[in-house]
Structure 1
């Protein structure tokens, strides 16, 4: 797997002069016209102390790993546009997704352009963020390319970062989980602090559940009918830094009760953390996106929408269909295609998708799914033989390396005799054999 090597023109910096803190985020992107934009946003934070706490929490997420994968993902992305700023990032194991949604009330400034880029969270800036006090004035600039000196004590040097393909693949998968999540619990500040007081210490093996007993929320090793399952519960320690300032916490769970998300509300901004089914499982490897990309679309559709929509703009398929006279079935397929490329995110509390302009060329994003590539290869080599092809029942043989595999899709529930399906039972997405059969059905 090839990683993307980016050379930043400058470090992200936080400088102080005349009592004002100025935060400037270094950026890089493959898209030439965006690279020529000197700044996406310039203005002040209206609640800099809480924003700084959220940024340090995001930095903690991207500088963590809960599996065997070493810490490599240290640079979150930032989207500026539609009067909002969003910061997003993954743990290096790709099992924790974090996003800070800064609403219009959280920022006071001017959007000079809209776009999305990856940013550099370096140590001097994090140290400075940790030192921000309540009511301090902080100016935020997103997308600056001039050389800056961070402080008189810190040497500014160019920094190279690595952005693995897992980073983008995680974005394509996690929003599909978020889009199907259902609201579970709402906790006020006191209930939140009580809940986290019962959080087990250390790296706990096995499942834990958020349950409500005698009117009090707590973590329990015992499952209950109304409990919320959390795999790798120790990962919730990532929230420790923002718990003292949170107003409310909204908890969601996925349809299959495997994944969950905590949304911490601060009034003007929200911090979301979504957790994969277990600490050793990353969102990028779940393969959920494969269910959404069985029908190909012309690239001009995707390029057209990418030029039409702005970063953070609400994505409403039905409205888009009416305004641009596009068949609704085509819009549904286009939504799936955009989701599979990481170009759509999902806002849990608002209950809608938002558009994300990724800082990567579209053709590169399209080339990142090996199971999809292998499924297309199976089709091109004419290796699928249908036995039955009816409305609710599809059966087929697919040629394998040494044996033929039988695929059955009964009432939209797929099965395959290959080792992948036998091992994971569909929990990490469909196998290439099922995908090939679906694409031909």
Structure 2
């Protein structure tokens, strides 16, 4: 006679390799298969800051800076890591990204059972309980696979896991691709940062030019003359920074990052044992879900076996840089960049500008559909691309060609450097209207795929030598 025994576990066992040791984390079994697996539990050291930070997130997800008459989302994504808890969200119009990073020292007893990610809805009862927190009151945060709970002296509010929209997933993909290319513009100390945020007006909805005058950051309606380009930062929809207002008393410093001319900006506020990241899209009309920055690094050639290996590799890393990933996986920086964007499109990675590192988090849904990517792959596979010229260069290539669309034929040309589409032009309406500010069009992507496939059929060029293989 045979018997079957079934054991349920909270998660998979994990092996973490460090420079000096290897940690084997064995999964713990569920005592009750119906219970909800817990990732983290910790008592908050500063209830007032915790309250204001989570209410800040709630205000972001409720905000619509464009078309305020439409629907709203209320679903932050929560990730528990060995050294911190992150909560991420977008505004309902997707023109603002917000993230709170609570460091381990923010909690009195950082009890992490396993790494994990979930997403919940901040309902009115949870917001009410959160709003009633006062200094000195006991507050315990619990996060699990299917829930987030806040236990206070008088109540325990539980928010359960909900379904996220595909628009948010597209936003997570595009935002990380933008963030990793952002560079630090200015760092403001406590007084200058608070003065700047307090002077913002709700009427600052158009284009503003930022510059430092002495130690003070000023917002001007026109570009001042006589200042170097590097000392100026143009921002549209600056009024969205008003979301920072309730956190001003906690503010210690403010770092400002820029991406490219007239592009999205990032604002990282440093608080005691916590950080807030607020990102503004290029304009309030353009949400992060519509930006196409990640498409500038995606390549048609992405071997499944290598991607499977990379998924397992990053799952064992708390965070990493492209250089570290390249060394561990024994691949080039160009491959790392393209494949990291592919993994991000599956909801596996985010980017922390303060640490300048990727972090691992699993969003519980499959790859979001990228309309431009799917359409470009169709153009390529259906042989709608006619190459005029392909020139292989050290670390990149240039290409020109014609792409047959549904209603017209378009001429496109591009330049790749280090796997990144650094230059591109097309006669289609999308590029004529946006340039590359919102990512490449489907015609440029199809041209890239065709050019890469053409070069893959010939011998690689000698380093430093220009190579133009014959076209059929």
Aligned residue in 2 for 1:437:
447
How many angstroms apart in 2 are the aligned matches of 1:150 and 1:104?
18
Conserved? CA contact 2:148–2:158, under 8 Å: no
Give the deviation of 1:250 after TM superposition.
Answer: 1.3
Aligned residue in 1 for 2:131:
130
RMSD: 3.0
Question: Which string of whole-angstrom CA distances, capped at 9 and with x for unpartnered residues, describes residues 208-263 of structure 1?
Answer: 23322243223221224423222111111111110111111111111334221111
How many angstroms apart in 1 are the aligned matches of 2:154 and 2:333?
58
Q: List aligned pairs for 1:137-286, cutoff 5 A.
A: 137-143=138-144, 163-202=164-203, 204-224=204-224, 225=227, 226-286=231-291
Aligned residue in 1 for 2:4:
none
Question: Which string of whole-angstrom CA distances, capped at 9 and with x for unpartnered residues, describes residues 267-291 of structure 1?
Answer: 3010110000111110111111111
Aligned residue in 2 for 1:31:
none
Give the deviation of 1:201 after TM superposition.
Answer: 3.0
Moved more, 169-178 or 256-265: 256-265
Moved more, 54-63 or 159-168: 159-168
How many angstroms apart in 2 are the aligned matches of 1:149 and 1:44?
10
Q: Which has the larger radius of gyration?
A: 2
Question: 1:145–1:184: structure 2 CA closer, same or farther, 3 Å change rule?
Answer: closer
Aligned residue in 1 for 2:89:
89
SS of 1:180's equivalent in the other structure is: coil
Question: 1:221–1:328: structure 2 CA closer, same or farther, 3 Å change rule?
Answer: closer
Question: 1:428–1:158: structure 2 CA closer, same or farther, 3 Å change rule?
Answer: closer
Aligned residue in 2 for 1:374:
375
Moved more, 88-97 or 193-202: 193-202
Question: 1:181–1:373: structure 2 CA closer, same or farther, 3 Å change rule?
Answer: same
Conserved? CA contact 1:311–1:357, under 8 Å: no
Question: 1:157–1:270: structure 2 CA closer, same or farther, 3 Å change rule?
Answer: closer
Give the deviation of 1:139 after TM superposition.
Answer: 0.9
Conserved? CA contact 1:63–1:71, under 8 Å: no
SS of 2:38's equivalent in the other structure is: coil
Q: List aligned pairs for 1:292-303, cutoff 5 A.
A: 292-303=297-308
How many angstroms apart in 1 are the aligned matches of 2:246 and 2:446?
46
SS of 1:73's equivalent in the other structure is: coil
How many residues are treated as equivalent by the alignment? 403
SS of 1:174's equivalent in the other structure is: helix
Instruction: Report 1 or 2 for greater relative contact order, CA contacts < 8 Å, sequence distance ≥ 6.
Output: 1
Conserved? CA contact 1:71–1:92, under 8 Å: yes
Question: Which string of whole-angstrom CA distances, capped at 9 and with x for unpartnered residues, describes residues 369-411 of structure 1?
Answer: 0111111111121111111222364221111222211112257
- Find the partner of 2:400 among 395, 401, 422: 395
What TM-score does the superposition give when structure 1 sets the normalisation length? 0.83
Q: List aligned pairs for 1:266-345, cutoff 5 A.
A: 266-310=271-315, 313-326=318-331, 330-345=335-350
Question: Which string of whole-angstrom CA distances, capped at 9 and with x for unpartnered residues, describes residues 20-50 of structure 1?
Answer: xxxxxxxxxxxxxx99861000121222221
SS of 2:58's equivalent in the other structure is: helix
What TM-score does the superposition give when structure 2 sets the normalisation length? 0.78
Question: 1:229–1:35: structure 2 CA closer, same or farther, 3 Å change rule?
Answer: farther
Conserved? CA contact 1:73–1:92, under 8 Å: yes
Conserved? CA contact 2:118–2:145, under 8 Å: no
Question: 1:115–1:230: structure 2 CA closer, same or farther, 3 Å change rule?
Answer: same
Conserved? CA contact 1:178–1:254, under 8 Å: yes
How many angstroms apart in 1 are the aligned matches of 2:278 and 2:56?
10
Where structure 1 has 5 or more consecutive residues not aligned to the other structure, the ranges are 1-33
Conserved? CA contact 1:114–1:310, under 8 Å: no
Conserved? CA contact 2:146–2:161, under 8 Å: no
Question: 1:274–1:38: structure 2 CA closer, same or farther, 3 Å change rule?
Answer: same
Aligned residue in 2 for 1:385:
386
How many angstroms apart in 1 are the aligned matches of 2:177 and 2:415?
23
Question: Which string of whole-angstrom CA distances, capped at 9 and with x for unpartnered residues, describes residues 297-327 of structure 1?
Answer: 2344444443444498112343344445456
Question: 1:322–1:172: structure 2 CA closer, same or farther, 3 Å change rule?
Answer: same
